[in-house]
Structure 1
């Protein structure tokens, strides 16, 4: 009887130890670089049509950059490597050819924060159909996670934003390294020096109807005119008669979105210094703030001639999307 009791206690002990180890293994924090995806797929599928489809969708060129850079950095691993350290990746796509047609996104399956996408099919065609149908949803989910992760990293060390609050009645989480380089009436310019260049954030406001004031002109043209007028006023190079303008060789991309629940125009394109050699990408958010009868404009741009710019611009996007509109006093 005593031996049975000891055996039962020993079994329970190992059961709880096993559960604890499993919980520790699968409840940790995710790791990995921003905008990376681990694709778990066997080499045979990766080297065929399915791999081509994945690369075309998830490594497509980022809109608005002067050079081609992929939307996400993709790392491929065979299915047998799903266990172990691979489970700590923040974004995982698991693709299998098996006896079911299946699509599912599981949140925090092995760690947190995490997206694990499961796609399977009986044939290559079924898997391709799943990719075609669900790619936009997957991309949106991963981008939201990466924005949140970028904001989490930024929130660790922030600069004092009391000047921004006082001037615009908004809060904005801006990381250490940014300096106030210009402050005018309803205009603030912050800049951070980086290796071989810099990143900048502009905050300003224009009348609520400034972007849609001319019924015979398009929204994008009015945003370009607005940007160029701000560049003419405040953003100049060290060479005389230089100012920041929207580069007309590449047509900017315009889309509609919402920030802080407000209607927003998102514009991506490239800028240049007129009569100078400097140029780079920008992302402009013109936010309709009806309560204050204004269009609040938040823009990020960078100059980094010898660096890839995807993640620099993504950080600027994350900073801008941290904006909160404060209650009027």
Structure 2
């Protein structure tokens, strides 16, 4: 009786797998996809930063699952308290119903090691020729696609001939995998953050004064505008405060990119322009370096060498604090160094998505 039940369950799962390939643009290891009319797809759902992972749950508690956790649950650098880069929800194939199918971020983890019903379901999402490719090319381990079951959906297939090989590839390519979803989340935020007539007027003032442009969402106000500085902020009655500022100066030397000099520049800007308490002129923002060091990374921003800095900040009188992300780079044609930053205030609450939102806005920066 148990054997008959197992066969029936396995048959049902294979039927679902076949239906899955009919429903959506399931991309295999050879890059083949089924065309579909995206106009009839529902909108993707789920919370920002949430990823649905379809895999054998038993393997999630073993080596393969540990690799998945290390990549997707890696702490976001520069936050004052530990927060995972993504929120992951792991489901078995038989749990893969319509609610999960329209998740904004979807990951299939497919290993050809294992004979369980879940393993067979996942393996059935690939053709025999794709299976041959996977076994003959162990370095090939991932495939991406868009809008398999929903609009604005990102899909990642991770595959390998066995658990150990796949786990190794996942760990060695962690940043590639993370960036795929990080970029997707920032793009969604950029589309969501709309401008208003008032915020466009602020942008125009900044262009006239500083010769730069940056997206300023509706409900932001212009806190300060000088010949070398702009500060726009969102100050709701309840909830997180969000802030953007831009500073420019004449570029002097490569030494300005040293980490200690970037911190010193930030503190100089903050002391001069960013007040902690409008009613207390002696209150200003400083970079936290005693209990938490800023985290630095060299990146390419607008085809320019850029130093990214993430960390915590506080006021000199310890009245308030938060987290920030910044980019420092040079426009050689103008001979100008730019320091642009987004910082937030939201005590005792999550900052992950707030900082991701700040990153999304910073990437809209342009010199005019």
**Normalising by the residue count of structure 2, what TM-score does the alignment of the two structures yield?**
0.76
| 1:143 corresponds to | 182
Shift of 1:209: 2.3
What is the alpha-carbon distance in structure 1 between the residues aligned to residue 229 and residue 258 of structure 2?
A: 22
- Corresponding residue of 2:7: none
- Summarize deviations over 1:62-109 as a string: whole Å, max 9, x none: 100001111011111112334533232232111133265462322215
Match of 2:243 among 196, 200, 217: 200
The structure carrying a bigger strand percent of its residues is: 1
Query: Which position in structure 1 is the counterpart of 2:207?
Result: 165
Decide whether aligned partners of structure 1 residues 197 and 147 sit closer, same or farther in structure 2, where only a CA change above 3 A counts. Answer: closer
What is the aligned partner in structure 2 of residue 209 from structure 1?
252
Residue 306 (structure 2) pairs with residue 291 (structure 1):
no
- CA distance in 1 between partners of 2:104 and 2:240 (Å): 29
Structure 2 runs not aligned, ≥5 long: 1-22, 25-35, 114-130, 135-139
Q: State how far apart, in whole Å, the 2-side matches of 1:72 and 1:123 are.
A: 25
Given that residues 108 and 158 in structure 2 are in contact (C-alpha distance below 8 angstroms), is that contact kept between their aligned partners in structure 1?
yes
Q: Does 1:104 align with 2:142?
A: yes
Kept in 2: contact 1:247–1:270 (CA 8 A): yes
2:83 is paired with a residue whose SS is: coil
- Other-structure match for 2:125: none
Find the partner of 2:286 among 245, 249, 255. 245
Give the corresponding residue for 2:346.
Answer: 304
Alpha-carbon contact 2:142-2:159 (below 8 Å) kept: no
Q: Aligned equivalents of 2:253 and 2:284: distance in 1?
A: 21
Paired position in structure 2 for 1:15:
none
In structure 1, the partner of 2:107 is: 93
User: Would you say the 8 A contact 1:196–1:305 is kept in 2?
Assistant: no
Q: Distance in 2 between matches of 1:45 and 1:157?
A: 49
Are 1:265 and 2:307 matched, yes or no? yes
2:157 pairs, out of 118, 126, 140, with 118
Structure 1, unmatched stretches of 5+, are 1-17
Q: Deviations over 1:88-142 (max 9, x none)?
A: 2232111133265462322215034333222233432123123223322111111
Cα distance in 1, alignment partners of residues 110 and 261 from structure 2:
49
Q: Does 1:68 align with 2:82?
A: yes
How much is the aligned-residue C-alpha RMSD, in angstroms? 2.4
Residues of 2 paired with 1:81 and 1:23: CA distance? Answer: 26
Contact 2:194 2:218 in 1 (8 A): no
How high is the TM-score relative to the length of structure 1? 0.84
What count of residue pairs does the alignment treat as equivalent? 303
Would you say the 8 A contact 1:281–1:301 is kept in 2? yes
